[in-house]
Amino acid sequence: MATTITVMQSYWTVCWQWGFIPYPCKKYRTVTLYEYLWSSLTETGYGFFSKLVGCENQIRYQWWTWSFNVWGSTTYYNLLKDYDSPRPESGTCPPPGDTGIIE
């Protein structure tokens, strides 16, 4: 289950001096992020989309996103990552060290 954190983010926008002169200005907003500590996160590229499958605390998550990982697969381990929305759950993960091979 994700941990929620509240952070202050800065962003650039257009402000107006005297109501008609535009100039760039920096503003701040408070946002809630969802923080996951992935024991493993696998990204598989399919053109300009990626399928991501991650395990956190024996819970499996799976979702699709835009990417430039055109083809191929990469797995990351022990990764702390923040998202602006919760990731969708899709089952359970095998316990650590379980290879799935029956002896």
Q: Where are the domains of the chain?
A: 3-92
Q: Is the pLDDT of residue 74 over 60?
A: yes
For 19-51, what is the HEC assignment? Answer: CCEEEEEEEEEEEEEEEEEEEEEEEEEECCEEE
Tell me what the pLDDT averaged over the chain comes to. Answer: 90
pLDDT of 69 strictly over 90 = no
Please say whether the beta carbons of 13 and 29 come within 8 A: no
Q: Which residue has the higher pLDDT, 94 or 36?
A: 36
The share of the chain scoring above pLDDT 90, in percent, equals 74
pLDDT single digits (tens) 37-61: 999 999 999 888 999 999 999 999 9
Over residues 70-94, mean pLDDT: 91
